[in-house]
Structure 1
Amino acid sequence: MNKIDYDIHGIVGIRLINPTQTDADFIDDKLNKFRKNLERDPDIVFSFKENLDLGPFNYLGLDALFTEDSFYAVSKKENLKIKIPFDTIGDKSEFIVESGSYDIPWLFDIINLTFLKKKFIPMHSTAFMMNNSGIMVIGWSKGGKTESLMAFANHNAHYVGDEWIMLSGDGSKMYGIPVPICLWEWQFEHIPKLLPKIGIQRKILFKGIHFLNYIHKLIKKSALERSFIASIFNKALPPFNKQLNIRVTPEKIFQERQKSSANLDKIILSFSHNSHDYKLIESDYKELAKHAFYSNTYEQSEFLNMYRAYKFAFPEGKNDFLENINEFQYSLIMEAFKNKETYKFFHPYPLKFEDMYSHLKHLADNN
């Protein structure tokens, strides 16, 4: 039996059984920092098999199906299937995965919920260390999480994590899962010393997208504004513009300035607003905890909707942890945020990283 193990912070253990090289590469690209033989039973097992023959099954839309006794999610990219044991999510679980996929549906949802069941809260946030102060920034999309990380990176902050931070139930410790950092083109000028070299193909892509945007502006100012050509540009450009970014591993930006875990001292809830002003306000921890809770429920909603599809397929099926997840994590977040310095920060968007840093740097001056 071919097996590969991952031990994430000694808390969640993952085992791959009989993966192809493609399967292994997909997981390793995301979790290679934690590759280590387990000396205990894994919490999550992904067993890979060629061409799952399910026999008769019923569709649940285009992204799920069920047989007489099992529920499967379907990869959007390759139409490959993964058996999800919803009744054991959070506890020791085995997932049967059809080999050959570059995309395991719900991979990080499965990992996050396993952490949560162990009372480590997955926070949609960024975290860094500066002058021995551990700082976590939470917020919505475009709220300034990654921007704050890069603003402090310009001043030699240590990377803990971006996107998902695992916070201990008592709030004392935060654990990062290193994933590629998404940097948008407009951000490049704000990190000139940290920005890695951009490949020629990416540069050509960016120039091509900017050229299309230029043509689109000309069309909107011409008699073709309401034409079929204009409608094509209106629909095609948004997906193209979403490609004006690069993904960079933390090592390329922070090099040796990385920590796998850190103490948590201060929490910032970051908002972008329609003003040029910057405003930092001390806030009650309970209020910040409520914001963080609803951010979590939003991030978990797609997976929990899949659980509801499972309940539709198997009305008698049940997972007590998922049934009571809101109450469980609400109380955990409240407890974890207690006795922390908590702030709300309002800023323009886009913004200058140095301006952001100047308004927040005093939070890292002492602990």
Structure 2
Amino acid sequence: MSPSPVHDGTTLGQTDFDLHGMVGVRVLGTADDAAVVRRQLGPMDGPLDHTPEILVRFVDTLATGPLTLVGKDEYAHDDHGFFLLRAKGKSRVRVRIDLDRLDDRSRPFEVTVERGAPAVPLLIALVNLFVLASGSLALHACAFEYQGVGVVVTGWSKGGKTETLLTMLEAGARYVGDEWVYIDGGGATVAGIPEPIRVWDWYLDQIPEPGRLTPRADRTRLRLLAAANEMGDLVQGGRLGKRAARLARRADHLIRGQRHVDVDPAILTGGDLGSLRTTFDLLVLAESSPSPLTSMSRIDPHPVAAAMAASLAYERRPLADAHDAFRYSFPGRRSRFLESAGSLEEERLGKIFDGKPTWRLRHPYPAVLEDIGRALSPILGGPR
């Protein structure tokens, strides 16, 4: 893609992001501001051939009237606007987002962000909503192409989507997308965005030459975190008071949640991401199981459509929660489209999945990547 206008880190300018012609995002701010959005959407910079659906405006100071808090440092409102005060990861932000304007398609939906935010809260959820409005579908899934066959792997969080993608990339598959992929309304093609891929330490332990994915400093950090968990297990196995045991368990949980690195997908593909698009030929529902066995079985796609409608509703919950707080702040104002998104997704999922060859992949967690590869062999002709 050709880049949109370039400006230095402090000069105000405009940067456009084109998500496969489905949704356009325009950023008004500095190059540093655009980099915040690029970390979320990937290097999708490119000129738009239509008015953007989303406008992200960065400002030094977000002016407000006297604020009323909604919840403890989560949301606020003044007489005219609604504000987010927390981003993912609980970092403090100040973002204006008037959610009733989601229904006004005559102009871009505007999000105003006070500089200093590590990310634009709810941006991916908003992109997904506008993809739905365009007639396509955002699916919580990964996608790849292997020997000319386009595969979409979907399921609930921790179901094994990324593990399957990483296994197939090791076998020579072409990367399309991870976490979120975008399917045209007819179900013929699927496209992705090059978001960083979260790679857990147990995955690195299963591949040759992990150093090609992560620098030595990251691998050292992961080893230290693993050692801290092992020490915590020993401490919890001793005699502790209730309060000390509770604190030890909490620390152990927090440390386990940090035993990962976020890897640029370009590193996994040798620097060439290609078109980030493929045909949608096969559907795989990935699920983890207490059983140590890994298996594949043919299933009906229609229950998968219903299941993924529930998954999409779950993934949209932070946006829905903000909408509830917005309605509390401004009784009578709401987004009818946001409220109808679930039923529209369920209908579209049924149409898109209808007739797709569909398989269930069941595996233990953490997964054994070699076993995933063997399970996929019968339907893909490899890896073996």
Q: 1:235 to 1:9 in 2, by over 3 A?
A: same
Which sits farther off after the overlay, 100-109 or 204-213?
204-213
1:54 to 54, 57, 64: 64
Mapped partners of 1:246, 1:97: distance in 2: 27
The residue matched to 1:59 in structure 2 has which SS? strand
Give the drift of 1:193: 4.8
Tell me which residue corresponds to 1:152.
168
Mapped partners of 1:78, 1:235: distance in 2: 20
Mapped partners of 1:336, 1:187: distance in 2: 32
Give the drift of 1:285: 1.6
The residue matched to 1:5 in structure 2 has which SS? strand
Q: 1:274 to 1:167 in 2, by over 3 A?
A: same
CA RMSD of aligned residues (A): 2.0
Which sits farther off after the overlay, 182-191 or 83-92?
83-92
Summarize deviations over 1:35-78 as a string: whole Å, max 9, x none. 11223211111122221120112111121111112111123455
2:39 to 19, 29, 39: 29
Tell me which residue corresponds to 2:195.
179
2:79 to 62, 68, 72: 68
Summarize deviations over 1:208-248 as a string: whole Å, max 9, x none. 323322332332343x3336544432221211121111111
The answer (yes or no) to whether the contact 1:23–1:100 under 8 Å persists in 2 is no
Q: 1:153 to 1:68 in 2, by over 3 A?
A: same
Q: 1:316 to 1:230 in 2, by over 3 A?
A: closer
The answer (yes or no) to whether the contact 2:144–2:175 under 8 Å persists in 1 is yes
Tell me which residue corresponds to 1:167.
183
- The residue type paired with residue 216 of structure 1 is G
Tell me which residue corresponds to 2:235.
219
Q: 1:155 to 1:257 in 2, by over 3 A?
A: farther
Tell me which residue corresponds to 1:79.
92
Q: 1:315 to 1:291 in 2, by over 3 A?
A: same
1:4 to 5, 15, 24: 15
1:253 to 254, 268, 293: 268
Give the drift of 1:169: 1.4
Tell me which residue corresponds to 1:89.
102
Mapped partners of 1:147, 1:276: distance in 2: 16
The answer (yes or no) to whether the contact 1:22–1:100 under 8 Å persists in 2 is no
Which ranges in structure 1 are unaligned for 5 or more consecutive residues?
none
The answer (yes or no) to whether the contact 2:213–2:263 under 8 Å persists in 1 is no
The residue matched to 1:321 in structure 2 has which SS? helix
Give the drift of 1:138: 0.7
The residue matched to 1:190 in structure 2 has which SS? coil
Structure 2 residue 56 is the aligned partner of structure 1 residue 43: no
The residue matched to 1:275 in structure 2 has which SS? coil
Q: 1:324 to 1:210 in 2, by over 3 A?
A: closer
Q: 1:264 to 1:51 in 2, by over 3 A?
A: same
Which sits farther off after the overlay, 89-98 or 143-152?
89-98
- The residue type paired with residue 218 of structure 2 is R
The answer (yes or no) to whether the contact 2:198–2:263 under 8 Å persists in 1 is yes
1:240 to 255, 258, 261: 255
Mapped partners of 2:226, 2:300: distance in 1: 44
The residue matched to 1:182 in structure 2 has which SS? strand
Give the TM-score of the pair, scaled to structure 1: 0.93
Summarize deviations over 1:90-113 as a string: whole Å, max 9, x none. 643112221222121111111111
Mapped partners of 2:115, 2:83: distance in 1: 14
The answer (yes or no) to whether the contact 1:195–1:253 under 8 Å persists in 2 is no
Mapped partners of 1:211, 1:152: distance in 2: 30
Tell me which residue corresponds to 2:158.
142
The answer (yes or no) to whether the contact 1:140–1:271 under 8 Å persists in 2 is yes
Tell me which residue corresponds to 2:6.
none
Give the drift of 1:346: 1.4
Give the TM-score of the pair, scaled to structure 2: 0.89
Summarize deviations over 1:162-220 as a string: whole Å, max 9, x none. 00001111111111011111111111132325752533432332233233223323323
Which ranges in structure 2 are unaligned for 5 or more consecutive residues?
1-11
Give the drift of 1:340: 0.7
Give the drift of 1:145: 0.4
* Aligned sequence identity (%): 27
Q: 1:235 to 1:315 in 2, by over 3 A?
A: same
